[in-house]
Amino acid sequence: MKGLLAFLIGAISLIVGLGGKKLVERRAPDPPDSPANHGLPFERVRFYSRDDLLLQGWWIPARHIAKGTIIQCHGQNGSMDADIRQAGILHDAGFNVLMFNFRTHGESEGSWVTFGLREQYDLLGALDYLVGAHGIEQVGVLGFSMGGVTAILTAARTKQIGSIVADGAIATLHQTLTGWLVERNIPFVLASGLACLFIFGGSIISMARLDRVNTHHWIQAVRCPVLFIHGAEDMLVSSRAMREIAANAPSGSDLWIVPNCRHRRAHIKYPEQYAQKVVEWFESTL
């Protein structure tokens, strides 16, 4: 009996350690790209997060007088490189765009991914850069998945964010991680339990309370309107959760539930409608 108990404790400890590390470790970047490959003028920029990590990005200025400035915040996998197409849409519509790699992504410094908890300091650093380098004091944010969560969390702390488009924003990390495991054919009950263990392990390793990645709580303190874009077939974020979050968002917010669409695929499945909605949202709210 003691041997079995020791085995179970060892197995659980291994799951917590390995799963937790995988959850928060540095991400492999997306294939390298450049705004120049898409005909966009740009400048490589470097700035510091509010907790002093050096971050790398691209400043893509509007060709004429800008309608406004949009910061793009990528998701928790890959890097900013995969999101240049969306930057091109905004640039063609007359906006300045700032893209950057969050901590632990691309060439930016950092040790652990925390799904918005510390990435908010990266976005705050981006806001500081825009004030200092360009005199820009209010922006919109287009955030993808983790980037959407980070935008919401940051907007709860500052009035510099005047509008948000949250594409596939995570409701809770537990729900998203459970859905990710279910997509890999792990039964729901087991997936839910494993998600708890991974989050516990990741919290210990990163020294961040990953169980607090919960947009339901943060949205209540946001001061600007949010357009939520959610795929109706998203396995990582439930439509019910997204409706609840949108219902508690500030006045003027909206929710677009995209039919026949999975997590963060609206721009691929309905590119023209996606571009029109995002551009019109920022034009009307900034």
Is 29 part of any domain? no
Phi-psi region of 111 (alpha: psi -120 to 50; beta: other; left: phi over 0): alpha
Is 35 part of any domain? no
Which one-letter DSSP state was computed for residue 219? Answer: G
Number of domains in the chain: 1
Is 32 part of any domain? no
Average pLDDT over residues 135-150: 97
pTM for this one? Answer: 0.95
pLDDT band at 13 (very low <50, low <70, confident <90, very high): low
Give the DSSP per-residue string, 78-133: S-GGGGHHHHHHHHHTT-EEEEEPPTTSTT---S---TTTTHHHHHHHHHHHHHHH
Arithmetic mean of pLDDT over the chain? 94
pLDDT band at 12 (very low <50, low <70, confident <90, very high): low
Is 222 part of any domain? yes
Interval 96-109: pLDDT, tens:
999 999 999 999 99
Mention every residue, 6+ apart, whose C-beta is less than 8 A from residue 274: 229, 266, 267
Q: Residue 128 sits in a domain of what CATH number?
A: 3.40.50.1820
Is 34 part of any domain? no
Residue range of the domain that includes 184: 2-22+40-285
pLDDT(84) > 50: yes
Is 27 part of any domain? no
Please tell me the least confidently modeled range out of 5-14, 197-206, 277-286: 5-14
Is 136 part of any domain? yes
Backbone torsions φ then ψ of 152, nearest 5 degrees: -65, -45
Which one-letter DSSP state was computed for residue 37? Answer: G
Contact 123, 71 (CB under 8 A): yes
Dmax (CA) of the chain: 75
Is 196 part of any domain? yes
Share of the chain above pLDDT 70, in %: 94
